[in-house]
């Protein structure tokens, strides 16, 4: 049956209504705009790079110190989001470890579990200013059937641990794909509703791209466009009236990442 309370830090379609107020409820996240602001700052750095490197296929393998620095910062922010989602939902990898030490031990195998609850592999990002046809990215596409790290995440780890020999992996393509991954993980938590926007920083049309193009919608704080997953079954969708449940002592569910298929996503596949 459909889910009668929202999961912590997890946007899903709602059968009953389109009220997204639960996303900014303090019990869900204390200040979602902190995450959105970091996204905006990182995009401003990427936009600066585009002043020197044209966003086009022929420049996809271009690498530089600035790209390497940005790749590291984007991916550490992605990891922070994964950890926040898992932690908020009570995930523990090793019950015998101190909580802080357990969190430090989390890696791509743990982050992969979030794909089951958030359908990250189904998100698409359109980069409207990319010159050739390579303007639609699915940053978590290879998580459909496998835990293998995305290529951009592999590049991040290579550059982080061996900057000298692997510096050439800090490419424009990997940076753009990693940034698309960050847009996905932020959107999968907070959607793109104006309730999460800073009212003093209204930017829907400020980049010169329309806020709606067919199946793609404007993303939070960037000119990129996003297509949300359409593969939710009715049993995996939310079915609640937030105004009716928000006064409950516990209006949120926790995703059970330890027990596959127990409380979410009938067709989920998790690593045991």
d(CA 117, CA 236): 9
DSSP label of 3: B
Task: Give Cα 181 distance to the centre of its chain.
Answer: 6
Distances from the Cα of 175 to the Cαs of 36, 73, 81, 85, 133, in angstroms? 18, 10, 17, 23, 18
d(CA 59, CA 264): 42
Residue 77 token pair: 């922010």
pLDDT digits 0-9 by tens, 46-58: 999 999 999 999 9
pLDDT digits 0-9 by tens, 105-159: 999 999 999 999 999 999 999 999 998 777 899 999 999 988 889 999 999 999 9
- Per the CB < 8 A criterion, the answer to whether 172 and 127 are in contact is no
pLDDT of 260 above 70 = no
Domain ranges of the chain: 21-230
pLDDT of 209 above 50 = no
pLDDT digits 0-9 by tens, 170-179: 999 999 999 9
Provide the pLDDT for residue 87: 96
What pLDDT band is residue 262 in, cutting at 50, 70 and 90?
Answer: very low
């Amino acid at each position: 049956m459909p889910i009668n309370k929202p999961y912590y830090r997890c946007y899903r379609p709602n059968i009953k209504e389109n009220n997204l107020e639960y996303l900014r409820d303090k019990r869900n996240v204390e200040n979602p705009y902190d995450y959105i602001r970091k996204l905006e700052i990182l995009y401003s750095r990427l936009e600066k790079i585009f002043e020197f490197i044209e966003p086009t296929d022929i420049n996809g393998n271009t690498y530089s110190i600035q790209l390497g620095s940005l790749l590291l910062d984007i991916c550490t922010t992605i990891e922070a989001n994964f950890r926040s989602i898992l932690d908020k939902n009570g995930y523990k990898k090793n019950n015998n470890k101190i909580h802080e030490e357990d969190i430090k031990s989390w890696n791509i195998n743990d982050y992969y579990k979030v794909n089951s609850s958030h359908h990250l592999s189904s998100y698409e990002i359109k980069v409207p200013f990319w010159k050739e046809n390579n303007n639609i990215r699915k940053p978590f596409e290879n998580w459909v059937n496998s835990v293998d790290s995305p290529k951009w995440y592999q590049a991040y780890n290579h550059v982080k641990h061996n900057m000298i020999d692997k510096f050439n992996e800090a490419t424009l393509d990997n940076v753009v794909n990693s940034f698309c991954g960050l847009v996905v993980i932020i959107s999968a938590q907070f959607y793109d509703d104006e309730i999460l926007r800073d009212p003093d920083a209204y930017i829907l049309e400020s980049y010169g791209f329309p806020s709606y193009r067919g199946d793609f919608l404007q993303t939070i704080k960037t000119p990129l466009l996003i297509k949300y997953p359409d593969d939710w079954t009715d049993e995996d969708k939310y079915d609640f009236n937030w105004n009716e449940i928000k006064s409950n002592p516990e209006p949120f569910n926790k995703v059970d990442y330890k027990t596959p298929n127990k409380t979410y996503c009938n067709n989920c596949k998790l690593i045991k």
